[in-house]
Amino acid sequence: MSTAACSLSGGDQPAAPGERVVTLVTHDSWAARPELLEEFRRESGIKVEVRKSGDAGALTNQLVLSKANPIGDLAYGVDSTFASRALAENVFAEYRSPEADKGPQRYAIDSSARLTAIDVGDVCVNTHPETLAQKGIPEPKSFEDLADPRYKDLLAVESPLTSSPGLAFLLGTIAHFGEPGWTDYWRRLKANGVKVVRGWEEAYGQEFSGSSGKGQRPIVVSYASSPAAEVAPDGKPRTKALLDTCFRQVEYAGVLAGAKHADDAKKVLDFLASQRFQAEVADTMYVYPARDGVPLPPSWQTAAPAPVTPLAMPSDRVQANRERWVEQWRALAQG
Partner 1 sequence: MIATALIPLGFLAVFFVWPVAAIVHRGLSAGGVAAVLGRADTWELVGFTLGQAAASTAVALLAGMPVAFVTARVRLPWIGLLRVLVLVPFVLPTIVVGLAFRTLIPDGGVVAIVLANAFFNVAVVARTVGGLWTHLDRRAEDAARSLGASRLTAFRTVTLPALAPAVGSAAAVVFLFSATSFGVVLVLGAAEYRTLETEIYLRTVELFDLPGAAALSLLQIVAVLAALVAGAVARRRRESALRLRAKEETARRPVGPEWTVVALALAIVGLLMTPIVAMVLRSLSTSDGWGLAGYRALAGTGDRGVLAVSGVDAALNSLRTATDATALALVLGLTASVVLVSLRRGRHRAALVEAVDTALMLPLGVSAVTVGFGYLITLDALPGDLRTSPLLVPLAQALVITPLIIRIMVPVLSSIDTRLRQAAATLGAGPVRVWREVDLPLAARSLLSAAAFGYVVALGEFGATSFLARPDAPTLPVAIGALISRPGELNNQMAYAACTLLMVVTVAVVLLVERLRAPAANLGEF
> Interface with partner 1 by CB under 8 A: which residues?
1-4, 6-8, 10-12, 23, 28-31, 33-34, 49-55, 57-58, 60-62, 64-66, 69, 71-72, 85, 159, 161-163, 196-202, 204-206, 211-213, 222-223, 226, 229-230, 283-284, 286, 322-323, 334
Which among 148, 132, 152, 120 has a CA at the least distance from the CA of 239? 132
CA-based R_g, the chain, Å:
21
Of 42 and 178, the one with the shorter C-beta distance to partner 1 is 42
Closest to partner 1 by CB, 162 vs 275, is 162
Q: Would you say 13 or 309 has its CB closer to partner 1? A: 13
Nearest approach, Cβ of 254 to partner 1 (angstroms)?
18
Looking at 55-150, which runs of residues are DSSP E strands?
74-79, 116-127
Q: Least distance from C-beta 334 to partner 1, angstroms? A: 5
Kindly state the smallest distance separating residue 50's Cβ from partner 1, in Å: 5
Instruction: State the minimum distance, in angstroms, from the CB of residue 144 to partner 1.
Output: 25
Q: How far is the CB of 23 from partner 1 (least distance, A)?
A: 7
Q: Which of 124, 237, 137 is nearest to 176 (CA)?
A: 124
28 touches 55 (CB < 8 A): yes
Residues 135 and 132: their CA atoms lie apart, in Å, by 5
Nearer Cβ to partner 1 (6/308): 6
266: how many CB neighbours lie within 10 A of its CB?
20
Beta carbon nearer to partner 1, 49 or 110: 49
Residue number with CB closer to partner 1 (10 or 136): 10
Half-sphere exposure (CA, 13 Å, Cβ side) for 89? 18
User: C-beta of 198: minimal distance to partner 1 in Å?
Assistant: 4
For the chain, helix (H) and strand (E) counts, in that order, are: 14, 10
CA distance 72 to 239: 39
Strands (E), 115-207: 116-127, 155-158, 195-197
Q: Smallest distance from the beta carbon of 313 to partner 1, in angstroms?
A: 17
- Residue number with CB closer to partner 1 (116 or 226): 226
Alpha-carbon span 320 to 327, nearest angstrom: 13
Instruction: Specify the length of the chain in residues.
Output: 335
Selection from 211, 220, 228, 218 nearest residue 305 by Cα: 228
